[in-house]
Structure 1
Amino acid sequence: MGPERRVILGVDVGTTAVRAGAFALDGSARHVRTRAYPLLQPLPGWHVQDPDVLVAATLAAVSACVADTAGAEVVAVAVSSPRYGVIGLDTTLSPVTPLLTGRDTRSAEVARDLRVSGQSRELHRVTGSPVHPGSPLCKLIWFARHEPYLCAATRWWIGLKDYLVHRLTGTLVTELSSASGTGMFDVHRRVWSADALDLVGVSGSQLPAVLPTTGVLRLSSAAGQAVGLPSGTPVVVGAGDGPSSSLGMAAIDSTVAGLTLAATGALRTVVAAPLVDPAETFSCAALTEDAWVVGETVNNGGNVVWWAGSVLEPDFRPASDDQFGAPGLLALAERIAPGSDGLVMLPYLLADRGPEEECGPPGAYLGLRGEHSRGHLVRAALEGVCLQLGGVRDRLAELTPISSVRLAGGAFRHPLWRAVMAAVLDCPTHVAGEDDDAALGAAALGLFAIGLAADLKGAVALLDPEGARTEPVAVDPTLATTYRGLRGKLPALRTIAGRMGEILDEVAAGPGVDWRATTGLRDVVGG
């Protein structure tokens, strides 16, 4: 059986959908299947999911990929997922909690307390993970404060990928990448931090053993039956979605940053050892033992332009599966001059991760005048997202050199997104990767783990030879000058908007006023 009849499966379990890809080992073909599932919000700030629903969707997506490649040998299955989820299990390994996703902010008060006390700085130094409401460390402290009886009934605290790997293999473990996102793992000594565990009130015996991201387990007979694969098929435990995405878009050279933009956005680069910034802004996550991905995820990306389109006019309302703006809506924005004629949007529809002072003020349009049209509103939203990501690049470049940026994600199929982002970055910029870059990265890491590729870069090249031919994005010098001026003004505008938000909160918090309900904020966030 030649290499064209051998495939590896890369599975990326995302926030609202799983994407499974079957990649031919000679790069000649790929088959990608997706399955969606809901993100539930039972209370303000709570964002949860049923872990068994995610497992069922994953099995269905993998099964569809296996059917697409009937007759091919599947050499391994490799897994990727977000790193910030938390699930409690009882002694029978059944969930006693839903999956608390990275978007769940019920522990905001915990994060604030840790910052005020100064404990956040040492936690970040040791774990490489900023203290923020999405952090598993903060979630577990919240459980200890508010659900002590549930904590007493919980035998294990694990992440999403840990649960999925257990359902695939029957083995309960975690891996270095997911562990480094918990806020409880010493990334320098590669062990669970005793100080962090004491703070949380969890013992090391309640957390899974930590494997390398290249650890290999075996598919159980039950899971094999469900997806149509032989039991014993290698299952590579893999890395988190951020590191997997960096690998999938081949942004793993030390001076190259990978920027992904879907509903959310992220900018990351790869370093040889854990790198912790003193500002407590960036997370540091393992891809392998000697490749660490440092960067930041922003919660406000393509969803901001989707929101702008959904609230303007019904005739330009974007489709539910287009998070980046319907073509007609973006055509309106293209007719507006760069800088939106003085209109600026701070795109904080959702609070961002990181220290409180970095989470951003409430979203705001500033400089609004009667001559501004809905095209101005949309362009300002798009520019606001790009300017925010440009600021992430600037701060990251203070820690480690960045010479160029690779762009990936559905947003960059649109010329306007590409042009504005490249002008904001104002450095060599290329479009690379598809929507399945995290699944591809998972597959490439899997190929390396089972010894069918000599190194990570070679693994990506085998599975995606076309990915090496990236498309450069020309930087318009006029746009770059405009956005350079805007970026210089953003800190002052953030301060103004933050103070405005405080004043509005004080006014809205009057007797009998539930401002979140009256403004329909939950509906906006849900959109």
Structure 2
Amino acid sequence: MYIGVDIGTSSVKAVSIDNRGVVQNIRQIPYPIFSSSPDFQEQDPEEIFNATVKVLKDILADNQGNKNQIKAISFSAAMHSLMAIDAAGKPLTLLITWADSRAKQIADNLREMDLGKQIYRQTGTAVHAMSPLCKLLWLKEYQAELLAEAHKFIGIKEYVFFKLFGEYVIDFSLASATGLFDVFNLKWYKDSLQLIGIEENKLSTPVPTTAIFQTKKFPEFANINFIIGASDGCLANLGAGAIEEGQIATTIGTSGAIRMTSSQSFVDEQMRTFCYYTDDNQYVIGGAVNNGGIILQWLREAFSPDESVENIFQSATNIPTGSEGLVFLPYLLGERAPIWDSSAKGVFLGIGKNHTQAHFYRAVLEGIIFALYSVGKVFKEIQSAPKEPCIYATGGFTKSDFWVQMMADIFNQKILVPNSSESTAIGACILAMKALGEINEWKEAQEMIPITKEFLPNEANHAVYMKNFSVFEKLYLALKPLFHHNN
């Protein structure tokens, strides 16, 4: 038995699997995000820690009869979080999440500088408001006293591990998503630290993703191996089955992402993609988008509060492919890859008298996939071009065959859906197996991830979508000056 714990943005989830990869139990506890202003997106780190301990106790209770068979508990966490703590380990701030955009102007300025480009080339992390690098630069400018007085700056998994084990450690994978870490040499990057004005002792000690810990602080967890694990993006690829060179996985949940597995690190000269570390022989290259399922939530709450999401999808199915020329730019929360523009906004273009509410529903679904396609296009241009004509799909969007088929048509590629949507937690379990020597190569885990659905592309639909996508790409470029002018 293995337990994977995913400390996500909206909840913490624990999943237990057996050594064949079959899910046995799932436990989940949600928690809120606090937004004192549109740019501030924060959480209570103590609430997240308590939820993590509770979900672990619950799933251990579920597996009480098999407790002696539990080989390890392995962790995933959302990337880019940051908080300040004092010398006793007590929070001095709330947890600043990836979605926080207070540093967008700082990020925009740095991105245009030669130093910003050099930092990207060495760290593999986009220069964007999401990154701890830019968050720390914001603190330097607006809360310099806190920057000087804080004992350390850490992310949420580091806080959980300190509370469990009394050590400040960060896995190479999460470190590679900070903008502070040299992804080629696996150490803190001095140019980033000098720019902020801090020393390495203000950060946690980087360790391999397979590092093993045990706790004496919590008797109920005694004698259990805890694996530090990796970031949610890297583990989602593992858990989806996109394990070998050139294989691609995509996820749409609250936000979305598309990632390609690579045996070596890679940075894009145009700074469109990230490069995050899984282990010495595996990286993921790709990009995350801010606007996934959260746009459907907005659509329903703003325009159809009495209508279910199921009805929205059903209405959209009655509209022709391409929404009869209606194009949606889904940047309600700004955007990350490939444009990395926190000032971007949402737009509908081409509205005609013939367009009904259902047209808008379908255009929104198409626009979200177009955003992912704009990242996926980069894979065809970079050195490590995809070697397999299919995409592994996970996340909440796979509950809709209609939406997954839309992705197959837009990408013009076969879409494979694994039997479990818990790819991130399963990926954490697979990493634990490698840490304990149960598997030697990642591909040995492939048989544990059976495919339950396949979606083949429709060439005629793809042609229609590409006409709209051409408008989609030009629309952002045309409106970019106005987005920034309004700021």
Q: TM-score, normalised by structure 1?
A: 0.88
Q: In 2, Cα distance between the equivalents of 1:498 and 1:294?
A: 26
- The DSSP-based 3-state class of the residue aligned with 1:78 is strand
Contact 1:241/1:438 (8 A) holds in 2: yes
Question: Residue 58 in 1 paired to residue 52 in 2?
Answer: yes
State the 1:436 CA deviation: 1.4
Which letter does structure 1 place at the counterpart of 2:405?
A
What does the per-residue CA deviation read over 1:414-437, in whole Å, with 9 as the maximum and x for residues that have no partner? 121011110001022212253311
Which letter does structure 1 place at the counterpart of 2:354?
E
Q: In 2, Cα distance between the equivalents of 1:149 and 1:489?
A: 47
Question: Residue 222 in 1 paired to residue 217 in 2?
Answer: yes
Return the match for 1:341 from 318, 324, 328: 324
Gaps of 5+ in 1: 1-6, 319-325, 507-527
Aligned to 2:468: 486
Aligned to 1:151: 147
Which letter does structure 2 place at the counterpart of 1:391?
S
Question: Residue 167 in 1 paired to residue 150 in 2?
Answer: no
Aligned to 1:192: 188
Aligned to 2:441: 455
Q: In 2, Cα distance between the equivalents of 1:106 and 1:360?
A: 11
Question: Residue 90 in 1 paired to residue 86 in 2?
Answer: yes
Aligned to 2:385: 401
Q: In 1, Cα distance between the equivalents of 2:280 and 2:372?
A: 28
Question: Residue 386 in 1 paired to residue 388 in 2?
Answer: no
State the 1:356 CA deviation: 6.1
User: Equivalences for 1:102-501 in 2 at 5 Å?
Assistant: 102-218=98-214, 220-223=215-218, 225=219, 228-229=220-221, 231-316=222-307, 318=308, 326-353=309-336, 361-399=344-382, 400-402=384-386, 403=388, 404-432=390-418, 434-459=420-445, 461=447, 465=448, 467-499=449-481, 501=483
Q: Which shifted more, 26-35 or 54-63?
A: 26-35
Sequence identity, in percent?
29
Aligned to 1:20: 14
Q: In 1, Cα distance between the equivalents of 2:439 and 2:338?
A: 40
Q: In 1, Cα distance between the equivalents of 2:11 and 2:413?
A: 33
Which letter does structure 1 place at the counterpart of 2:460?
T
Which letter does structure 1 place at the counterpart of 2:441?
D
Aligned to 2:32: 38
Which letter does structure 2 place at the counterpart of 1:280?
M
CA gap of 1:497–1:98, structure 2 versus 1, over 3 A, is same
Contact 1:444/1:460 (8 A) holds in 2: no
Q: Which shifted more, 102-111 or 354-363?
A: 354-363
Return the match for 2:63 from 66, 69, 90: 69
Please report the RMSD computed on the Cα atoms of aligned residues, expressed in angstroms. Answer: 1.7
What does the per-residue CA deviation read over 1:462-512, in whole Å, with 9 as the maximum and x for residues that have no partner? xxx3x2234210212221111122222222222334355456x38xxxxxx
Q: Which shifted more, 40-49 or 355-364?
A: 355-364
Which letter does structure 1 place at the counterpart of 2:46?
D
What does the per-residue CA deviation read over 1:157-181, in whole Å, with 9 as the maximum and x for residues that have no partner? 1111111122222222111101111
Q: In 1, Cα distance between the equivalents of 2:330 and 2:420?
A: 25
State the 1:360 CA deviation: 7.1
Q: In 2, Cα distance between the equivalents of 1:299 and 1:139?
A: 17
State the 1:355 CA deviation: 7.7
Aligned to 1:511: none
Contact 1:260/1:266 (8 A) holds in 2: yes
Contact 2:327/2:472 (8 A) holds in 1: no
Gaps of 5+ in 2: none
- The DSSP-based 3-state class of the residue aligned with 1:221 is coil
Q: In 1, Cα distance between the equivalents of 2:342 and 2:144?
A: 29
